[in-house]
Amino acid sequence: MKTATGTTSKWFKVRVVDEANWPTSERFKATLTSPPGMNFDLIVYQGDIEVNAPDCFASGVRGQGTPESFMITWNDRIGPDDHLWFILEVRHVEGTACGEGAKWTLTMEGREPPSPDP
C-alpha cells in the first residue's frame, strides 16, 4: 500500500506488478479523501496489459462514492506477465482552504494472488 498527500492538483503513474504466474485474480484500488471544505476528484486512466505501458489515449474513469474510490480486478494469465499501468489524476474542483487543513490523501493498493502452498 502506498499513500500520497497534497494540497493542489497532481498526477501519479502507478505500475501494478504481477509477480505470480497462476490463474487467479489481481486487484488495484485507489481511494482519495478530500479535506473538509475542499473538493478534489480522482480520475483514473488505465493502461493495456498487452502493451505493458501507460495509455496516453485512455478515457478517464472518475472515482465513485465518499471518499472517492476506483477499483478494478483482472484475471492473471499463465505465461506472459500481467503488469498493468494506471495514471491517476487528483484534480482540484472547488474550495479555497490552504495549508495543512487543505491536504487530501490518496491511498493506492495492489493485490497479488496468495502464494500456493508448498
User: pLDDT tens digits for 75-114?
Assistant: 776 666 677 889 999 999 999 888 888 899 999 998 654 4
Nearest alpha-carbon partner for 5 in 113, 107, 74: 107
Q: Residue 21's pLDDT band (boundaries 50, 70, 90)?
A: low
Nearest alpha-carbon partner for 67 in 46, 90, 101: 90
pTM for the predicted model, two decimal places = 0.82
